[in-house]
Structure 1
């Protein structure tokens, strides 16, 4: 692989940094530009092009390739200008495919929710089975960071990455499919198409589907040939995995589904049942995904990764028998909270603290369908925690599971989750913490 013209990096995050390192190794003297939508780009040995100057730079053909970071929507008008100028747009993932795909087994896992847990489990199951496997994508390393280090690569991929993925995996897996990321994709229909692009292609690769994906008509159509599907687990295998999950740190029915899907994938490429059981035992909850703490008599659950109502439903279902204070609401993506509101009481929610802006709709729906739930509208997370302090006799568990992105008040879900834990630590009597228990 050789680049005959300068390259533009659009984005300056982890993937951009690994792309720059890759280009430096391949062609030390290659000219590399960088652009970002806001602020300065801190990428070594690059020349920044202001975003306002980008259209002119494309028309002047100052570079011959654009490497787009996942958070940059491929539907931005500037990419129409690039296509008209004959400048291709690619990604860190696709550069990995061109450089390192050959001779490796690739497992690509996507889905609206559960993909990180499933990918992590597959990786653990394979390594515990004695298979040389690495983990990359949105968890683990960036694709170009993992390079050629492993014979098997497990990729956890967002819809941003599957949308233009240009190489085929050996196994493509989908956990589930719900509306999400409409602002990036432009419509729910386009989101579905971009997510399903992982499996909706010609080729002899195998496909594995999570329980929530199997009854979806769009998914069934995308599979095309159902002979692609990996064999189902036997009843004995399923029972062994259920027993292992019951003894593990995987909480909730949704995580049992993730474990069963991961086991199906691992067995499909040579993993052993013993390795699968050991992988489940080794699993530790990922940060901000049902991450537990104990502050005084309270269980505090940081599920800030929750950006859809479906994720919030799963979080509540993971804590049966609890008296729950739920904190929900965030950035507007036209989420539908009607069904979630009807489930609050039966899932043990006694108190609901809502955050702008989507929390207003959830509060209204909850008032209509769950009048026994105390609703506490709050302007921000600090005010929500302060309100809960005044009503802590009503609950034994606080769950931050917003069912919406964080962008209107935080840079990302990680910042939101960390702030939630800090506020709880400061606001409730601390008698020791147990993260991830």
Structure 2
């Protein structure tokens, strides 16, 4: 691969830095620009072009290719302007495909929720089976960082990445499909189309579907030919897997579904059943995904990665028989909380504290659906934990599972989760310890 004209990196995060290192390696003399919509453009050996100056830079053809970071919506009008000018728009993932795809087995896993856990499990199952596998995408390494290091590459991909993914995997997997990221995609319909672009295409590749995806008519249509579907587990394999999951750190019915999907994928590319069971045993919960802490006499669960009501439902279902305080709410993405509100009391929620902006809708729905639940609306996470500290007799478990993104108050879900645990340690630690 060689670029005849300078390259613009749109975005300055992890993938942009990975792309810059790749370009430096393959073409040291190449001129590279960088543009960001907000924050700092901290990418080594680049020249900044302000977002306001991009149209002029395109008109004067200061670069011939734009490498777009996933968080930058492909539907921004500037990309249509670039296309009209004959300037290519690509991604870190697609550069990996053009450079390293050949002679590798590629597993691409997406879905609204569960994709990180499923991808991590697939990687563990393959590795414990003695296969040379690597993990990349939103977990593990950025695509261009993993390069050609492994014979098998497991990609965990967001809808931002599947939307314009240009190469075909050997196995494409969808965990489930619920509305999300409407602000990036512009509509729920477009989100579904972009997510399902992973499977809704020509090519001889296998398809694996999670339990929720397999019953979704939109997913079924996207699969096209159901002869593509990987072989399901035998009854004997399913029993062995369920036993392994019950002894593992995988909590909740949704994680059993993730493990079944991962096992089907792993078997399809040569894993052994022994390796699969060993992979389940080796699994450790990913940060901010039902991340459990014991603080004083309270179980604290950091599920900050929860950005949909469906994820919050799964988190509550993972802790049956508890008296639970739930903290929920966040950035507006047109989430529907009506069903979640009806499930709070049956799932053991005694106390609900809601955060702006979406928390207001959840609080209203909860007061109507479950009037016995103690509902408090607060302005921020610190106020939420402070409020709960005054109600300790009402719960034995505190779960942060916002059912919404964090962007209105935090940089990302990781920062939100870390702050939550810090606040709980401050308010719930045993003063004698």
Give the TM bin, normalised by the shorter chain: over 0.9
- Which residue of structure 1 lines up, in the alignment, with residue 25 of structure 2? 25
Counterpart-to-counterpart distance in 2, 1:232 and 1:259: 12
Give the stretch that moved more between structures: 424-433 or 282-291.
Answer: 424-433
SS at match of 1:293: strand
Could you say which residue in structure 1 is the equivalent of 2:377?
A: 377
Between the aligned partners of 1:167 and 1:349, the Cα distance in structure 2 is 45
Distance 1:330 1:42 in 2: 28
State the SS of the aligned residue for 1:178. coil
CA, structure 1 residues 272+432, in 2 after alignment: closer, same or farther (shift >3 Å)? farther
Post-superposition offset of 1:206: 0.1
Task: Give CA deviations for 1:231-287 in whole Å, capped at 9, x if unaligned.
Answer: 111011011010000000000000000000000000001000000000000000000
- 1:386 and 1:427 in contact (8 A); partners too: yes
For the residue of structure 2 that corresponds to 1:345, the secondary structure is: coil
Distance 2:254 2:50 in 1: 44
C-alpha distance in 2 between matches for 1:126 and 1:356: 42
Q: Give the Cα–Cα distance (whole angstroms) in 1 for the partners of residues 382 and 431 of structure 2.
A: 21
Name the counterpart of 1:108.
108
- What SS does the corresponding residue of 1:136 show, helix, strand or coil? strand
Which aligned segments of 4 or more residues in structure 1 are displaced greater than 2 angstroms?
Answer: 429-433
Q: Given that residues 337 and 365 in structure 1 are in contact (C-alpha distance below 8 angstroms), is that contact kept between their aligned partners in structure 2? A: yes
Shift of 1:431: 8.2
Q: Give the Å deviation of 1:397.
A: 0.1
Superposed CA RMSD: 1.0
Corresponding residue for residue 88 of structure 1: 88
Cα distance in 1, alignment partners of residues 215 and 28 from structure 2? 50
Match of 1:183 in 2: 183
Tell me, what secondary structure is at the counterpart of 2:220?
helix
Distance 1:66 1:295 in 2: 48
Residue 40 of structure 1: aligned partner: 40
Give the drift of 1:38.
1.6
Q: Distance in 2 between matches of 1:220 and 1:105?
A: 24
The answer on 1:97 being equivalent to 2:97 is yes
Give the Cα separation in 2 of the matches to 1:430 and 1:182: 42
| 1:202 aligned onto 2:202 | yes
What is the TM-score with the length of structure 1 in the denominator?
Answer: 0.98
TM-fit CA distance, 1:376: 1.0
Match runs of 1:317-356 below 5 Å: 317-356=317-356
How far 1:294 sits from its partner (Å)? 0.3
What secondary structure does 2:66 align onto?
strand
User: Structure 1 pair 320/218, CA: closer, same or farther in 2 (3 Å)?
Assistant: same
SS state of the match for residue 352, structure 1?
strand
Equivalences for residues 101-250 of structure 1 within 5 A: 101-250=101-250
Equivalent residue, structure 2, for 1:395? 395
Structure 2 counterpart SS, 1:375? strand
Residue 14 (str. 1) matches residue 18 (str. 2): no
Per-residue CA deviations over 1:360-402 (Å, capped at 9, x if unaligned) read 0000000000011100111111111111011110000000000
Q: For 1:262-411, what aligned pairs fall within 5 Å after superposition?
A: 262-411=262-411
Q: Which residue pairs with 2:55 in the alignment?
A: 55
* CA displacement, residues 160-190 of structure 1 (integer Å, 9 cap, x when unaligned): 0000000000000000000000000000000
Distance 1:181 1:432 in 2: 45
CA distance in 1 between counterparts of 2:376 and 2:73 reads 35
Deviations along 1:269-316, one digit per CA (max 9) or x if unpaired, are: 100000000000000000000000000110000000000000000000
In structure 1, how many angstroms separate the alpha carbons of the residues matched to 2:40 and 2:85?
26
Rounded Cα–Cα distance in structure 2 between residues aligned with 1:35 and 1:131: 40
Conservation of the 8 A alpha-carbon contact between 1:295 and 1:431: no
- State how far apart, in whole Å, the 2-side matches of 1:253 and 1:233 are: 17
Q: Partners in 1 of 2:255 and 2:34 — Cα distance?
A: 40
Q: Which runs of no fewer than 5 residues in structure 1 stay unpaired?
A: none
* C-alpha displacement of 1:432: 11
- SS at structure 2 position matched to 1:227: helix
Aligned-partner Cα distance in 1 for 2:15–2:307: 22
The Cα of 1:430 is off from its aligned counterpart by 3.8
- Give how far 1:39 is off: 3.5
> Residues of 1 paired with 2:53 and 2:42: CA distance?
18
Counterparts of 2:283 and 2:77 in 1: how far apart (Å)?
A: 42
Distance 1:427 1:299 in 2: 13
Query: Structure 2: which 5+ residue stretches go unaligned?
Result: none
**Mapped partners of 1:81, 1:16: distance in 2:** 21
TM-score, normalized by length of structure 2? 0.99
